[in-house]
Amino acid sequence: MKRKAEEGDDEEERSMWMHGGKWWRGPLIGRGSFGSVFLATTKKPKSQFSFFPPVMAVKSAEFSVSGSIQKEKQVLDTVQGCPYVIQCFGDEITTNAKGEMVYNLLLEYASGGTLADHIKNSGGRGLDESVIRRYTKSILEGIHHVHECGYIHCDLKPENILLVPCSTRTSGFVAKIGDFGLAKKGRERKYGRIDPSLRGTCMYMAPETVVDNVQEPPSDIWALGCVVLEMFTGKHPWDRKPDLNDEDILRLISDKFESPTIPTGISKEGKEFLKGCLVKKSMFRLTAEMLLDHPFVAGLDDHENQIESNKVWGFPSIETEKLSFSLVSDDWISSSEEECYFSEEDEEDEASSELTLEDSQESTESSLATCDGDRTLMRTLTQVSTIPAGV
């Protein structure tokens, strides 16, 4: 629970932003490096002309620094149509109390919070394997769709997996992929150039990303393996020592002899699934399509993952109760269990020599010193040029 002073700060921030044309801005429910997220309610939810659900999440930022959110809108427009990707209902420009322009991205509200919240609430014990299987299949379906659309998410982690009520259960949630602010298009070998930026959160970065600055679909699969591992253990994937800093983590990831630890007390299917995701060499890593046929998730009933349309379960009154997203603590207990086995091949890794990526014509670069926990690590931070709303 937030302290009074913090609640006052949140209320003050909310008062700085104005309502939209067809929605009321509610309490602050999240804050990130690219903007603040507010709960919003539709002004006329029962109107036959309303294209919005009764409740939404609105991601807002001053227009002058909203390039990343505007880019997220473009990506979401491309990847819409998958039930395991968070829905986008459009965007709108408003003004704040100072008369400055504010860009607002209207998104599906996930009443279950984030997967990070769910893991934290397990008290370090992890989730039940049946729940992990369901969440993993949902995330895989979303990743497969994103990859089929030609994009890489680049920042898959529990904080970016949102939980939406399930329509076929009296309780339970479906996992959806959100936060596409760092997503990028896949490589184009003939005409592109190497993307100079390194995107994502260091704890979930793939070896090829750290070593060769390569971010392609296999990098998302590595991150998925880290997320599934965290669901099993309730701990971060590189939790060897409690005092590891970002530099230590990156060193472990880049070391070809170091791998995340797979727990012994899980099913054989779970172990094999993790091994298929956490292969050091990206060329030998299983794809999303291959993993969807893996016994760990293949036997699940798709009807159990149907999503409740335009309905929020357990939605509290915004007049009487504040919502907040908790952050995952870094104070974890280290574990030493079964080491994941990876076969080392003598073939040359052609990733760095063959890699060509699209030309980022709209980008300007500024240096970024280090990665700070959940903040985005980039060797050079790509500033996305401002895009007119609705384009």
CA distances from 310 to 49, 55, 261 (A): 15, 8, 40
Calculated CA dihedral for residues 166, 168, 170, 174, nearest 10 degrees? -20
Cβ neighbours of residue 45 closer than 8 Å, sequence gap 6 or more: 52, 53, 54
CA distances from 24 to 19, 43, 381 (A): 5, 6, 34
Out of 10, 155, 239, 349, which one is annotated catalytic?
A: 155
In this prediction the pTM is 0.73
In terms of Cα–Cα distance, which of 160, 159, 134 is closest to 75?
160
Annotation: binding site: 59
Q: DSSP 3-state assignment of 224?
A: helix
Beta bridge partners of 42: 23
Q: What is the secondary structure of 129-187 as a DSSP string?
A: HHHHHHHHHHHHHHHHHHHHTTEE-S--SGGGEEEEEBTTSSS-EEEEE---TT-EEPP
pLDDT for 109 equals: 96
Edge to edge, the sheet with strand 35-42 lists 23-32, 35-42, 55-62, 101-108, 88-95
In terms of Cα–Cα distance, which of 59, 43, 146 is closest to 94?
59
Classify domain 115-384 by CATH number. 1.10.510.10
pLDDT for 325 equals: 31
Cβ neighbours of residue 140 closer than 8 Å, sequence gap 6 or more: 224, 288, 291, 292, 297
Residue-range domain boundaries for the chain:
4-108, 115-384
Annotation: binding site for ATP: 59
pLDDT for 12 equals: 52
In terms of Cα–Cα distance, which of 2, 3, 4, 29 is closest to 14?
29
Tokens of 46: 């029962």
Amino acid identity at 81? G
Calculated CA dihedral for residues 246, 333, 261, 296, nearest 10 degrees? -110
In terms of Cα–Cα distance, which of 232, 231, 234 is closest to 329?
234
pLDDT truncated to tens, each residue of the chain (391 aa)?
Answer: 333 345 555 555 555 667 888 899 999 998 877 889 999 999 887 665 567 899 999 999 999 999 999 999 999 999 999 999 999 999 999 988 888 899 999 999 999 999 999 999 999 899 999 999 999 999 999 999 999 999 999 999 999 999 999 876 656 899 999 999 999 998 744 344 445 566 789 999 999 999 999 999 999 999 999 999 999 999 999 987 778 899 999 999 999 999 999 999 999 999 999 999 999 999 999 999 999 999 999 987 665 555 544 343 333 333 323 333 333 333 322 333 333 433 334 344 443 333 333 443 343 333 333 334 443 333 333 333 333 333 3
The answer to whether 195 is a known catalytic residue is no
Cβ neighbours of residue 175 closer than 8 Å, sequence gap 6 or more: 84, 115, 134, 135, 138, 139, 142, 161, 162, 163
Tokens of 48: 């036959």
In terms of Cα–Cα distance, which of 372, 366, 34 is closest to 182?
34
CATH topology of domain 4-108: Phosphorylase Kinase; domain 1 (3.30.200)
Beta strand pairing call for 363-367 and 35-42: unpaired
